[in-house]
Structure 1
Amino acid sequence: MTNSFKEKLGQGGYGSVYKGKLNNGCLVAVKVLNKLKGNGEEFMNEVAATSRTSHVNIVSLLGYCFEGSKRALIYEFMPNGSLEKLIFDADTPKGDHDHHLGWEALDEISLGIARGLEYLHRGCNTRILHFDIKPHNILLDENFTPKISDFGLAKICNRKESIVSMLGARGTAGYIAPEVFCRNFGGVSHKSDVYSYGMMLSEMVGGRRNINAEAEDTSEIYFPHWIYKRIELDEELGLPSIVNEEDKLRARKMIIVSLWCIQTDPSNRPAMKQVIDMLEGSVDCLQIPPKPYLSSPPKSTADSSTTLVSIQ
């Protein structure tokens, strides 16, 4: 199928992804998992979660291989790669970053991801919490339609459950909701995905990682705070590629939505249904939220690898 693993698409903590072709000519991405860690929970999660879904904004699982220690997942191929490559283009010189797609496309992508998440939280027979929403895990098809992928850390719960029990924190530093690693902030729920979505939306707007330890001005290290100040004082946003009033309104709307999503108290965050309504509505109807409370996340948050950490 993959022509002896000839074309590698990517590499992650889980293993490698290769481009392949089915007999009918359909292009696929084949994710070959490393020798299994633990009891293979991530593999089982991925198969269990994605096989329950059918939505335009969720990547389609076409099949899987389970033979001895060899495990692979077969997904539809996404020609435009991940959102991460699009918003953090390493080839772009510093200070000269330009959104490749423009604000209208970014707006559409943010809405598509929100619809996919809302479907996971409310549209399936069972509620699926993803726990690893970040630009790396959003794939783009030939029309730049976003699809949520990588369900290795997902939790499938009863729809009546609002709070889920977890032994440890799971996710990627920089996107993990406060309550996931410290229960003092509240219970873990679908609102934890909302937080990760907000952090990702903020990176889409800024065209940079939220935490930039190299920033010359300390106020610019943590992007959500820097942009909050500009919104609060109604200053120029100072963002790349805003060329007209429409762009400015789109950017402002996305910023306000992201700031609501990253509120420290989960009960202050909107559900994904409200996020969709906010993104589809007029920016004039949006209130500016309170300033997000976490002021300086630990340095390690720049690490972008997925983790499943035990908390004593």
Structure 2
Amino acid sequence: MTNEQDIEVFLEDQGTLAQKKYRFSEVKKMTNNFTDKLGEGGFGVVYKGKIHNGYHVAVKILRASKGNVKDFINEVASISRTSHVNVVQLLGFCLEGKKKALIYEFMPNGSLDKFISNKGLERTSSLTWDNLLQIAKGIAKGLEYLHKGCNTRILHFDIKPHNILLDDNFCPKISDFGLAKLCPGKESTISVSYARGTIGYVAPEVCNKHFGGVSQKSDVYSFGMLLLEIVGVRNNINVEATETSEYFPDWIYRKLEQDQDLKSDNVTATEEKETERRMIAVSLWCIQTFPKDRPTMSRVIEMLEGNMNSQEIPPKPVLSSPTIGLVPELTTSSLQSE
């Protein structure tokens, strides 16, 4: 589907064209001829802009390729159905020949990855442990909404720090729905033609159906990996686990079995240690090898809020290293999308 009119007809049939449509000349004007670049990825480039009422926006310009036509349709069709404090708001779009743009609300604090990586001092200077816990809860609530709060269930398939945006109060908002899949039926599992997502966050069943059906539990796995990164545990894989080619969850359990600290050098207070342990425990439940062993996002929220015994470490999965040797052709940072 490459014809502009065909795409619009399709989106109208889906009931997803409530957002304002802009001409490309208007997009150039609102971005001051693309002068303030916020970021760049495989999908295209994001610029800061301002619309007529002075409201700041983020403008994503999609690269002209066949794959990005699908990403554009996915993103507009899925996010147009959402309205939640923890999901970024789509304000408009541009569809003019091969020129495609998406206009979003602007998030002053950018993406989460810059606050939880080892680069710079932004994490220690800006985010307290309470901040990190509130961010984790917000992402979980956004995912719960996508899975059960929308009229049409939405699976995101690319939950990672780069796709979590933070507003001026550090409220997290899930973004980038280019790989999302709509699930209009009540089936618990869905069919996907290709593995989709980003290596390191992709659930085993997305790569190989031997581990179970692809479902909302696949997003739960990605959230678990994200949560480990929020806590700071996952950063250690860059130093130790990578050198030994050890599967990351195996590395965590080995550390736990040896009664070694997983992190965190900046944890001092008892309350902070309890928060850290709770978040690690929840993440380990989320990254269980088989989907049936993972909690739903509703249960994840309960555990993060401390409304149940959330600090119990789950048993180590019987089957370890689920993706090793299963997808040797995956050498890039992102898997192929449908």
TM above 0.5, yes or no, is yes
Higher gyration radius (CA): 2
Q: 1:88, 1:208 within 8 Å by CA — same for their partners in 2?
A: no
Residue 62 (structure 1) aligned to one of 60, 82, 91: 91
| CA shift in 2, pair 1:248/1:155, >3 Å | same
Residue 161 (structure 2) aligned to one of 123, 135, 152: 135
SS at match of 1:167: coil
Q: Which residue of 1 aligns with 2:198?
A: 172
Residue 145 (structure 1) aligned to one of 171, 193, 200: 171
Distance in 1 (alpha carbons) for counterparts of 2:181 and 2:39:
25
1:308 has 2:336 as partner: yes
Per-residue CA distance 1:195-234 (angstroms, 9 max, x = gap): 000011111112643642x428967965544443454565
Q: Which residue of 1 aligns with 2:82?
A: 53
Equivalence map 1:1-16=2 (5 Å): 1-16=30-45
| CA shift in 2, pair 1:124/1:301, >3 Å | farther
Distance in 2 (alpha carbons) for counterparts of 1:235 and 1:38:
45
| CA shift in 2, pair 1:298/1:211, >3 Å | farther
Deviates more, 1:159-168 or 1:203-212: 203-212
Distance in 2 (alpha carbons) for counterparts of 1:211 and 1:297:
16
1:297 CA drift (Å): 5.8
Q: Which residue of 2 aligns with 1:22?
A: 51
Per-residue CA distance 1:65-92 (angstroms, 9 max, x = gap): 0011100000000010111111114235
Distance in 1 (alpha carbons) for counterparts of 2:258 and 2:125:
25
Per-residue CA distance 1:15-73 (angstroms, 9 max, x = gap): 00000001111000000000022471110000011110000000000000001110000
Q: 2:59, 2:103 within 8 Å by CA — same for their partners in 1?
A: yes
Name structure 2 gaps, 5 residues minimum.
Answer: 1-29
Distance in 1 (alpha carbons) for counterparts of 2:177 and 2:309:
36
1:109 CA drift (Å): 0.4
Q: Which residue of 2 aligns with 1:115?
A: 141
| CA shift in 2, pair 1:78/1:158, >3 Å | same
Deviates more, 1:34-43 or 1:163-172: 34-43
SS at match of 1:197: helix
The residue type paired with residue 84 of structure 1 is D
Distance in 2 (alpha carbons) for counterparts of 1:8 and 1:88:
21
Q: 1:203, 1:210 within 8 Å by CA — same for their partners in 2?
A: no
| CA shift in 2, pair 1:248/1:66, >3 Å | same
1:276 has 2:301 as partner: yes
| CA shift in 2, pair 1:168/1:23, >3 Å | same
| CA shift in 2, pair 1:207/1:155, >3 Å | same
Deviates more, 1:10-19 or 1:228-237: 228-237
SS at match of 1:42: helix
Equivalence map 1:186-201=2 (5 Å): 186-201=212-227
1:249 has 2:279 as partner: no
Q: 1:169, 1:308 within 8 Å by CA — same for their partners in 2?
A: yes
Q: Which residue of 2 aligns with 1:76?
A: 105
Q: Which residue of 1 aligns with 2:14?
A: none
Equivalence map 1:93-112=2 (5 Å): 98=124, 100-112=126-138
SS at match of 1:106: helix
Distance in 2 (alpha carbons) for counterparts of 1:173 and 1:301:
12
| CA shift in 2, pair 1:235/1:134, >3 Å | same
Q: 1:35, 1:69 within 8 Å by CA — same for their partners in 2?
A: yes
Q: 1:219, 1:226 within 8 Å by CA — same for their partners in 2?
A: no
Distance in 1 (alpha carbons) for counterparts of 2:73 and 2:242:
45
1:179 CA drift (Å): 0.3
Distance in 2 (alpha carbons) for counterparts of 1:297 and 1:86:
28
| CA shift in 2, pair 1:116/1:46, >3 Å | same
SS at match of 1:74: strand
| CA shift in 2, pair 1:39/1:173, >3 Å | closer
SS at match of 1:62: strand
| CA shift in 2, pair 1:303/1:208, >3 Å | farther
SS at match of 2:197: strand
Distance in 2 (alpha carbons) for counterparts of 1:303 and 1:203:
22
| CA shift in 2, pair 1:151/1:11, >3 Å | same
| CA shift in 2, pair 1:126/1:309, >3 Å | closer
